[in-house]
Structure 1
Amino acid sequence: MKKIVMMLFVVFGSLSMQAQNLNWHTDVKEAIAVSNKVKKPLLLFFTGSDWCGWCIRLQKEVLTTPEFAKWASENVVLVELDYPRRSNQSPEVKNQNNELQQAFGIQGFPTVYFASAESIGGRINFKGLGSTGYVAGGPAPWLQAANSILSHK
């Protein structure tokens, strides 16, 4: 009995650690380079991490789960574009995030935008694949929506 409990602890612990080990880029140029190298689209997460209730809920119910971690590592390069009210950001990050919010026409949070991109002559060209936001029901329905968007790329 102790062996079973210990094995379950190890399995769930490793799944939890996998969710925590996701690499969320905050520099979009760096993320584009990785995306092009590994041939995976970008997942751009527009969030108000310290004030947006739906953003916090999406993080808790989907983005920190083992299911999402496994899916993300196989399918996308993660980019977090945060618009906090109580946390400080560097002027570069704040400017980058504001430019991307305008470029993608983001009007509400959370918005998750899927795109591919390339940098040509110092200018970034995005190809939008689709977007989603909070989807009720946990990781399964959210991943179904994400897979539907990515299947049309």
Structure 2
Amino acid sequence: MKHFLFSCLFISVFFVKSNAQEALTWHTDMDKAFEIAITENKPLMLFFTGSDWCGWCIRLQNEVFKTTDFKNWANNNVVLVELDFPRRKKLEQKLQVQNYQMQQIFNVTGYPSVFFAKPNKTVEGKKNLSSLGKTGYVRGGASKWLEVANNIVASN
């Protein structure tokens, strides 16, 4: 009985660890994400979404962002940022202001919109984002979406 319990404990710890390795961090604080991207020398992936009302956003999440292929790709290639524009859920005022500012900077007119941007700091310490390209929902699941994303990220 002890061996059985030990085996069950070992198996459950293994699955928790392997799922944790696939976990993604979606940042909501642009300043924090910017610093991480600079440190890791990765572009930012900015996901403009209406999380609680946009059907195409939810579809993109389910068909692409929740897949193992995307999780592995994202962990190796980008720093993820979610810029949400919900209708039912209330965001903190600071987050709302930040998200609307980013929406204006990138001229987002529809959802979902996914922009890739390279973060840079000037000599004076000012923060700049250089747009690498954009996409949205792509038919064909994770492999087709990642093909588009790879072309954007690899070209710069």
- Superposed CA RMSD in Å reads 2.2
Q: How does 1:4-153 map to 2 (within 5 A)?
A: 18-19=21-22, 21-120=23-122, 123-153=126-156
Offset of 1:124 from its aligned partner? 2.8
- Encode CA deviations 1:99-153: one digit per residue, 9 max, x unaligned: 0000000000000000012345574311000000000111000000000101111
Identity %: 49
Closer/same/farther in 2, CA of residues 99 and 123 from structure 1, 3 Å limit: farther
Distance 1:113 1:72, change over 3 A: same
TM-score, length basis structure 1: 0.86
Gaps of 5+ in 1: 1-9
Gaps of 5+ in 2: 1-12
Q: Is the 8 A contact 1:62 1:138 kept in 2?
A: yes
- Runs of 4+, deviation exceeding 6 Å: 10-15
Q: Distance in 1 between matches of 2:92 and 2:14?
A: 38
1:35–1:41 Cα contact (<8 Å) kept: yes
Distance 1:123 1:95 in 2: 19
Give the match's secondary structure for 2:24: coil
TM-score, normalization by structure 2: 0.85
For residue 94 of structure 1, give the secondary structure of its aligned residue in structure 2.
helix
**Secondary structure at 2:46 match in 1:** strand
Structure 1 residue 17 displacement after superposition: 5.1
Please say which of residues 122-131 and 83-92 is displaced more in the overlay.
122-131
TM-aligned CA deviation for residue 34 of structure 1: 0.1
Is the 1:15–1:66 contact (alpha carbons within 8 Å) kept by the matching residues of 2?
Answer: no
